[in-house]
Structure 1
Amino acid sequence: MKKLIIYALLAFILSLINYYTDFSFFIAKSLLYIANPVETQSFYALDSISNIAKNYIILQNAQKENRHLKNEINKLNLENKILQAKLRNIDTSIAPNLIKCPFIFKDFSDINYIYIKSNAPEKDILHKTVVSQKLNLVGTVESKLGNLYAVKTIFNSNFVADCFIVHEGKYYRGIFKGSLNQPKIEFLNTQSHIQKNDLVITSGLIGNIPPNINIGTVEKIYEVRGFYKVAIVKVDKTFLNDSFVFVVK
């Protein structure tokens, strides 16, 4: 009976030590070794004590991990709230700053560039953002060629833009990469909660492209080896049937 009391006290003390330390593996092994009595009469009682102590250690470790994960989630939520607060302070009004420009392009199989014409000062055109009549992103003015300006479109594989995917009022940041057949957003956090048909907009945080210009909608989502998410973007090509676009001053 004395041995039972000693083993019970020892298990309790070691459990307290485990609560304040990270030597869970060592403690569990020690308990299993100690609770291996010679007397057959006490075997089952001592085995129960060791199992209780072992399960308690496992529970404590799980609680520690849960606290760690909860802290990480709270940190991400705080960062998201800060980002959304910054976005609310960005001026989204671009309508008063639009310059109407007629445009041409080679053919529908070669829309990496379109070419616009404008009599506006060069400083108001060169390196500016171009949008369609629906105010969707078309591209950026790259250079001047005689009386025309070359616009690198969102279908060009060298076109990149910092962007957000908007899902239920939350903004998830990524990098938009242009493509003729499959424009996409890369480097999305794996914890991004996004889905098909979510809106894709420019962020305005990097480069000269203004914020909150519509790029398209999410068409497909997949992960790259668990490191980050990729979203295929559906963009509107109907502007190619129009006769003019707008340059954002």
Structure 2
Amino acid sequence: MSDAVNREANAVVDSGADGADLEVLESEPAFAAEVFGSSIEKARAYVQHLATTGVEWGLIGPRELPRLWTRHVLNCAVVAELLGDDDVVGDIGSGAGLPGIPLALARPHTRFVLVEPMERRVEWLTRVVEDLGLENVRIVRARVEDLEDEEIFSVATARAVKSLQVLIEWVTPVLGPGGRLLALKGASVQDEIVKAKRAIKRFKLTQPVVHELGGTALEVPTRVAELRRH
């Protein structure tokens, strides 16, 4: 990392108008380089985008800066082990590019489509993707419900979008045969699975498998509910 980026990474960010509420950007964890490999410099640049314009544009809260790497960027990136190079991944409700951009960095040979309906977020995503030079990423401004017959994904990812039941209803029509939904969830994932029982049966999905990823490196492991279309 250059000296200039180092200074930015250690900068104190003012999250209050009067300067009374200050948050410090989390230092880069040692295992980030292992997760991102040759894309580590782009990952660092993405973190800077989140910490600056991402906060200014309201895509991420300033109070998230002290855990930006571990709770957000790496929390998403560890899901890369569930993807293959031949997958076409639709990141539903991409927002600030989470989990789509960290996954695209960790999986440079996998194709990603960031699906986001809000114009302001799409503009931010476009700027970031262009700045990072992510040739394996394209952006679609749309609601996923409107993409049936227009997009087909082998995998759909979603983080902090909707309940599992709603995600199943939205996403299944854009999954190809054998396609998978990877829903990043919190500690209540099993409760969501129970509530989604009817939707799972209605859309003919396999029973969910819950993965816990990054447990040896992340204080809180990433929980992913994986459902496959028959």
- TM-score normalised by length of structure 1: 0.22
- Please identify which structure carries the higher helix content: 2
Larger Rg: 1
- Please identify which structure carries the higher strand content: 1
